[in-house]
Structures are given as structure tokens and as C-alpha cells.
Amino acid sequence: MRITGLRLRQLTGILEHEGPYWEERLQRPIDVYPEYKAQRARPGFWMPQPIDERHSRVISIFVEIDTDEGITGIAGPVPHEVAYVIDREFRGPVEGADALASERLWDIMYREAVHGRKGVAMMAISAIDCAMWDLKGKALGQPVYRLLGGPVRDSAPAYASMLGYSIEPEMAAKRTREKVAEGFTALKWFPLYGPTDGRDGMRRNIALAEALRDAAGPDIDIMLDAWMSWNKRYTLDFARHVAHLDIKWIEEPVMPDKIALCAEINAASPVPIATGEHEYTRWGQKELLDAGASEYLQADTYWAGGISEMVKICTLASTYDVPVIAHGHSVPANTHLTLAMPPLLMPMVEYLVKWNELLQFFWKNPVKPVDGIVTLSDRPGFGMEYDPEKIETDEELRWAEGSNMAGSIQERQ
């Protein structure tokens, strides 16, 4: 079976919601500069485009790989910059390739993209790899978790990742109680303040942590994500202030390249450190493991190399006895991987509550937790198919020779 074509399919649809979709954004490393700290969330294709208070337009791009046997593998959604790289850099290796030889194609793309070992090029490789696994599952009539040797279990707990919700303590406490009532046994929140916000910012972050623990009670795990925006001193000061609250982890306290520094923080902090979301491939994750930088590894399936590479990352992590909890931008793929791995190696699935309304918007059968638990069907591949009722417009994207991504996107807006 040969690959006969690669398509980038852009879908738009209308999402209904109550009130403004984003109540709060996360802090960013760039917020050390006041003009960026003052910004709200940036517009873009990852974000819903507001129409009115109750409706926003969702724009998503999916990767489709066709074969000479009429089977199509699907992956996504992916950002426009990733779609551009797929279109301009990887059509050659993909089209005409053996449709079941995913390992061979991964290695060819990796060797071709010598300047793309991290970042957008590796995200493009990741999406193509995931589409290959979907294709392989459909060709063999099996769900991906079976191709990976599973299922080890038929369900896994999900934790509610609360990005986009208000972090005003009273409102955050209310939302925490709601999620606990829905069956979640773990929640992650995103403090907004960092080293440039002084003592008042530290007090606000501590007040958020205290409100979350009070609302959740003693038996619910609470995690906090700094999103690369703190430093060593700030993280350790904060960790000492909240250690009595039994916080499960502090996530990504420093910029990704500061691996040795992250290891120092992990060794000194009374709260465990988690990281790995912004690291790529088995080689990058091994640096984190070798350094002892993290108690939980959080590689992203759609960024770190796809399912093929995540299997290798999990194997590596198992030799260090470090659990892998894949970053939650790709819940269907992550759930297949999680259910194919031992529970101590992949104990749970991250479920970004608001993001998954966007990322799974066009699926007929989105993977959503019920009573805090995710399960999967036995549908072939990743089990995802489009819901035609959700699609407002449907077009194939191609970038003409000599065109640039920014110009093409601007024209489409």
C-alpha cells in the first residue's frame, strides 16, 4: 500500500459558549516586559475568533494522508505554521512512501530536517507520524492502542487542566468544586504572577493555591503551571510557602533550555517539579532524565515526534522510573498511548478543558472524560471522524511556490 497524496484540510465552524470564552490567559516568559504583561490573549488560528458573547469561529487544519487502497489517515488539528512546513518541506518524503512503514518515514523526515530537530519542523513530523498511525490502524482494522501492544487497561483517570478559567480565588475555588463534583480527582491551574510582580504577586499566587486546596479538600491532587515564567529563587520561595498544601507538582518553572537549573530546583524544592512539554524527541527528553530535572515527564505527542517517538520516550522514562503524562494538546492520541502503557509509567491523561472544546470541536466522537475517566472504543485507528454538522466551510490549503506563510494567512483573514 502506497501513499498517493497528502492534504491539508482547513475547516471552520461556530462554537457556542456562555460568556467570553477565555476568562484569563496564562503567564508567559515574555511578560517580564511590561508592554507584553499588559496584553490580553493574542488572536490567532489556535484561538476562537469571537463573533458575539455566545459564539466564536473555530478554524482548524487537519493532515490527511491518502493511499492507493482508498484508506486515509487523519491527524490534527495543527497550527498554520506547522501546515506550511508540512506542505513545503515534507510532501516529497511522504508521497509515494510505503503507507505502513511509519518508522522508515520518520527516520527519513528526521534526517532530511537537519535544522528541524526541535520546534515547528518536529511538530510537522509529529503530525505526519500520527496520521500514519491512524492510517495503519484503519488498514489493519485495529485501534492504535492494540497496535502498540495494548490495551493494558480499558480506562485511565484524566486531570482537568484549567487554562483559560478565572484565577480570582473565589471563582477558581467555585470551579474547582464543580470539577470535583464531575468526578475529577486532580486539577491543574495556571498562576498569573512571576518574579517581576514583587511581593504582591507572590501573595496572589499563594492565595490562589490556598483557595484551591480549601475548595478541593485533602484527597484531590492540585498542580500549578508556571509555564516557563519563573526563576530558581522565585520557584523555591513559592514552593516553601505552599509545601503544606500538598501540591502534586510545580510545572515548567524555567525556560526549557535551562535543564541543569531545572534539576537544581527539583533537587531543592519541597514540591516536585514536572517538565518536558517544550522538549523534543527521545534525545531531548533523555537530557531531562539524565539531569534529574523532573519527577514527571510531559512530552507532547504532536510536538515531540508523534506516536513513534513517544513510545521510545516512554521506554526511556521507564528505565529512570519517571512517569510520563503526555501534554494534553492531543487527547485522542494520548489516550491510545496511555492505555497501551503500564499504569505506573503513564498514570493519567491531561485534559485541557477549554482547549479540548477547540481541538476536538470537529470530531463526531470526541474523547471526553466521564466521571473523571477517559475510555476508548475499538474503532480502527484513532477512532476519529469529522462531524459534518459542525463544518461551516471546508478547503484544501496549498502554498504556491515562492509564497510565504504569513502572506497566505493574511490573505485568508
Q: Which tens digit of pLDDT belongs to each residue from 89-130?
A: 999 999 999 999 999 999 999 999 988 899 999 999 999 999
Q: What residue has cell string 473555530?
A: 58
Task: State the average pLDDT over residues 349-372.
Answer: 97
Position 42 scores a pLDDT of 66
Q: Summarize pLDDT for 377-402 with one digit per residue, the tens.
A: 999 999 999 999 999 999 999 996 76
Listed in sequence order, the residues at least 6 apart from 233 whose beta carbon sits closer than 8 Å to its beta carbon are 195
Task: State the average pLDDT over residues 340-351.
Answer: 98
Residue 203 confidence (pLDDT) above 60: yes
Q: Is 251 exposed, middle or buried (0-12, 13-18, 19+ CB in 10 A)?
A: buried
How far is residue 275's CA from residue 335's CA, in Å, rounded to a whole number? 19
**How high does pLDDT run on average in the chain?**
95
Position 329 scores a pLDDT of 87
Q: What residue has cell string 509555564?
A: 227
Cis peptide preceding 77, ω within 30 of 0? yes
Q: What's the CATH code, domain 3-143+388-412?
A: 3.30.390.10
Q: Summarize pLDDT for 218-240 with one digit per residue, the tens.
A: 999 999 999 999 999 999 999 99
Phi–psi pair at 29, nearest 5 degrees: -55, -35
Listed in sequence order, the residues at least 6 apart from 229 whose beta carbon sits closer than 8 Å to its beta carbon are 27, 28, 29, 31, 32, 194
Band (44; pLDDT cuts 50, 70, 90): low
Band (40; pLDDT cuts 50, 70, 90): confident
Strand partners of residue 143 = 381
Q: What residue has cell string 490567532?
A: 44
Return the minimum-mean-pLDDT range out of 18-27, 255-264, 355-364.
18-27
Domain with CATH 3.20.20.120 in the chain: 146-375
Domain with CATH 3.30.390.10 in the chain: 3-143+388-412
> Which residue in 80, 278, 327, 329 is the catalytic one?
327
Q: Which of 327, 342, 232, 248 is nearest to 285 (CA)?
A: 327
Position 173 scores a pLDDT of 98
Task: State the average pLDDT over residues 145-174.
Answer: 97
Position 70 scores a pLDDT of 98
State which CATH number among 3.20.20.120, 3.30.70.360, 2.40.30.170, 3.40.30.10 fits the domain covering 146-375. Answer: 3.20.20.120
Q: Which of 279, 225, 276 is nearest to 248 (CA)?
A: 225
What pTM did the predictor assign? 0.96
Alpha-carbon torsion (33, 35, 39, 44), positive or negative: negative
Position 92 scores a pLDDT of 95
Position 104 scores a pLDDT of 98
Give whole-number Cα distances, 335 to 3, 270, 319, in Å: 26, 30, 22
Query: How do 155-161 and 186-189 pair as beta strands?
Result: parallel
Position 47 scores a pLDDT of 79
* 257 and 286 Cβ atoms separated by less than 8 Å: no
How far is residue 96's CA from residue 105's CA, in Å, rounded to a whole number? 11
Residue 15 confidence (pLDDT) above 90: yes
Task: State the average pLDDT over residues 371-377.
Answer: 96
Band (53; pLDDT cuts 50, 70, 90): confident
Catalytic (active site) residue 327: yes
Encoded amino acid at 290, one letter:
D
Residue 43 confidence (pLDDT) above 70: no
Position 405 scores a pLDDT of 61
Q: Summarize pLDDT for 305-323 with one digit per residue, the tens.
A: 999 999 999 999 999 999 9
Query: How do 249-251 and 221-225 pair as beta strands?
Result: parallel
Give whole-number Cα distances, 253 to 167, 191, 194, 291, in Å: 18, 11, 10, 15
Listed in sequence order, the residues at least 6 apart from 232 whose beta carbon sits closer than 8 Å to its beta carbon are 253, 254, 261, 264, 265
